[in-house]
């Protein structure tokens, strides 16, 4: 294992104050040593995804790891069907709602610095925001009751050739003030507005763009070299090579809504997500104490095996093996990031087509130890 160390540096002024180059990370992606048991696991997982690719048209990248050791990884199909560019394990996909855990990490890192509090209300940073009584914690846990900005934008945004930004989203909520779905903290209601607002609050507090903050605070120090946040206002053409497809070879539109980030907009690879997964086990980019808060259920009205924390979905039915995960769908991309923190197992599926890309969390977990009598389950 390669040990990486850097000398501590004094944080410069301005945006560079958010650089964490001195993190003593030790993890580098590496393959597992083969044993008969692991060979059986690899064979099961390989057969499953080969059938998905061959029979259902699955197109994407797959990575299964245990304690950071890669058990199975493979790229299936094309990043671009027109040019026939093939996918690799380094290919960066739109994460869709798997972006939310990364937005949460950005917010919680500011909480650890004392620059935010989970109990701060939105008005502390946006005084004229018309919805009162909503805390940072409620945004992170989807208990704000706020309406979905996408539905509002589709009604009021005048020119869909012009990207909607996070600032624009805040402005139209202030201007049109659509009725909220629920009172604050009344119940769980999953809404993209929560995480788009959180990304905007990160900008207000840090003084730099959300994309730059995440690059300096998460991507760069964790060596996530294939990761970025798509800034649509910087270019009307998405520079990312992996295209999303809503049907066979029908490319998804690069919608004006892609100008809003935080709820979506992160591009990364299976290898980089494994780096993030392993960094969490090292107490980075947020401490174990803060992770415990993030991985604690926030909803008494939801089941223990289907709950939500601060940016993560939670299945805590087995207290010895918590399952911390998120899935996503957006404009041709489907994604799934699963962490079993008891077994140390990690499952990452990134797809850029809708064909053959819908996976159940338990279905993927079962692939590790699927009995012989169930091997034909997905034939």
Bridge partner residues of 350 (DSSP): 61, 335
Between 3.90.230.10, 3.30.70.260, 3.40.710.10, 3.30.70.380, what CATH number should domain 14-114+209-374 receive? 3.40.710.10
pTM of the model: 0.90
For residue 237, name the pLDDT band (cuts at 50, 70, 90).
low
Catalytic residues: 97
Lowest mean pLDDT among 34-38, 90-94, 169-173: 34-38
Residue 20: pLDDT over 50: no
> In whole numbers, what is the pLDDT of the chain averaged over residues?
90
pLDDT digits (tens, 9 = 90+) for 39-57: 999 999 999 999 999 999 9
Provide, rounded to the nearest whole percent, the portion of the chain with pLDDT above 90: 83
């Amino acid at each position: 294992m390669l040990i990486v160390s850097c000398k501590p540096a004094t944080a410069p002024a301005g945006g560079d104050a958010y650089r964490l180059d001195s993190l003593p990370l030790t993890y580098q992606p590496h393959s597992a040593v083969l044993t008969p048991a692991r060979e059986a696991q690899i064979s099961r997982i390989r057969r499953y995804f080969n059938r998905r690719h061959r029979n259902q048209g699955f197109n994407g990248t797959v990575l299964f790891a245990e304690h950071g050791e890669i058990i199975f990884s493979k790229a299936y199909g094309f990043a671009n069907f027109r040019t026939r560019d093939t996918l690799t394990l380094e290919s960066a996909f739109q994460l869709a709602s798997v972006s939310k855990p990364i937005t949460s990490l950005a917010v919680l890192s500011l909480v650890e610095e004392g620059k935010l509090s989970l109990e701060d209300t939105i008005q502390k940073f946006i005084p004229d925001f018309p919805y009162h009584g909503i805390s940072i914690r409620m945004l992170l846990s989807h208990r704000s009751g706020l309406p979905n900005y996408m539905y509002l934008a589709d009604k009021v945004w005048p020119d869909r050739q012009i990207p909607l930004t996070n600032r624009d989203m805040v402005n139209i909520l202030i201007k049109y003030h659509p009725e909220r779905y629920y009172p604050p903290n009344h119940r769980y209601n999953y809404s993209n507005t929560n995480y788009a607002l959180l990304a905007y609050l990160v900008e207000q507090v840090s003084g730099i763009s959300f994309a730059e903050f995440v690059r300096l605070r998460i991507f760069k120090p964790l060596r996530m070299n294939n990761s970025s946040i798509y800034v649509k206002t910087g270019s009307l053409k998405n520079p990312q090579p992996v295209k999303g497809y809503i049907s066979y070879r029908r490319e998804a539109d690069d919608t004006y809504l892609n100008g809003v980030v935080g709820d979506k907009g992160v591009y990364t690879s299976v290898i980089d997500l494994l780096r993030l997964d392993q960094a969490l086990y090292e107490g980075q980019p947020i401490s174990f104490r803060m992770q415990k808060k993030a991985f604690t259920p926030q909803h008494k009205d939801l089941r223990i095996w289907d709950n939500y924390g601060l940016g993560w979905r939670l299945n805590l039915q087995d207290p010895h093996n918590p399952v911390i995960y998120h899935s996503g769908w957006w404009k041709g991309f489907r994604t799934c990031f699963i962490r079993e923190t008891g077994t140390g197992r990690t499952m990452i599926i990134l797809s850029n087509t809708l064909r053959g890309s819908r996976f159940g969390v338990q279905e993927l977990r079962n692939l590790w130890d699927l009995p012989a009598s169930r091997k034909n389950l997905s034939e």
